[in-house]
Structure 1
Amino acid sequence: MLLEKGRAAYYDSSGTTSSIIRQLALAGIAVVWLLAGGLQKDGVHLTQILLAAGLLIVISLFLDLAQYVWTTACLAVWVWSKERKARKELQPGEDANVDEKEIGDAPSAVLPIMWVLFYLKAAATATAYILIGFDLGNRLNVS
């Protein structure tokens, strides 16, 4: 397998994982809501465990947004600067289309933060579901 194809498969896989994490987080909100009994006349009845799980889910969704905002903003600035530089380097009479220019790999500062956010959101979602499992276990009356 070529490095380029391996990298593409890795990025496709991480994109799919992000989508699944997002879906699990949104489903987790519904699960917490159902376990809390929904909206009652006197409010929502959240146990401490469900409250912690719900907060982790919200944090996970925030981290998901932060990951995409960070990556989009950094790559937009980077590509814009590369395009601007390529346009300045054009010779008189040369085709103004610089879309086919090689710009190399993304800046090294972008990727570590992107991956930290990715793994934090996965860990937050997984921890929330573990807490939901504990809450369900506490509700079981096994004698």
Structure 2
Amino acid sequence: MAKSKLSEFKEDYYHFTGKLSDINRQIAFAGIALIWVFKKGKELDFQIDDELILPAILIVSALAFDIFQYIYQSITWSIFYTIKNRKYKTEDKKLESPEYLNYPAWFFFSVKVILVLVAYWKIFDFLLDKFLK
């Protein structure tokens, strides 16, 4: 059955961006584990291979942007809700939110995904170099 309401497309948008955030976060943690597997040195003398330092930084940065995205959204939508709830004194009022409120969240979302993709590209390059040499 074809969708007929714009709200159904919005639900899909929320579903898929939420899913992508979850997957991105899991992949970021897996990247940290993968880098750990290829550490140099003994257990007490931990060193990361030089080629894995940049991917590690990118992954940690991606996790930071993940947090920034949710901090921003939590604060923004809490303020929006509070202002509108005080004004209309009901939660049943139909409203439209300004599109620009989503721009910073989109920025954080895009950056965190790009950072993980670049990190994995660098890890893949490292693995190819190590195992196909």
**What TM-score, normalized by structure 1, do the two folds share?**
0.84
Amino acid at match of 2:47: H
> Distance between the aligned counterparts of 2:56 and 2:12, measured in 1?
32
Retained in 1: the 8 A contact 2:40–2:49? no
1:27 corresponds in structure 2 to 30
Tell me which protein shows more helix as a share of its residues: 2
Amino acid at match of 1:135: F
Amino acid at match of 1:25: A
> Distance between the aligned counterparts of 2:58 and 2:64, measured in 1?
10
Aligned residues: CA RMSD: 1.6
- Report how far residue 136 of structure 1 moved: 1.0
Considering only CA atoms, is the larger Rg found in Structure 1 or Structure 2? 1
In the alignment of these two chains, the number of paired residues is 130
Amino acid at match of 1:8: E
> Distance between the aligned counterparts of 1:64 and 1:48, measured in 2?
25
2:73 corresponds in structure 1 to 71
**Equivalences for residues 93-132 of structure 1 within 5 A:** 98-105=90-97, 107-132=98-123
- Report how far residue 6 of structure 1 moved: 0.7
Amino acid at match of 2:64: F
Structure 1 unaligned blocks of 5 or more: 88-97
2:48 corresponds in structure 1 to 46
> Distance between the aligned counterparts of 1:7 and 1:103, measured in 2?
15
1:55 corresponds in structure 2 to 57
1:18 aligns with 2:10: no
> Distance between the aligned counterparts of 1:17 and 1:118, measured in 2?
9
Aligned-residue sequence identity (percent) comes to: 27
Provide runs of 4+ in structure 1 moved above 4 Å. Answer: none
SS of the aligned residue for 2:95 comes to coil
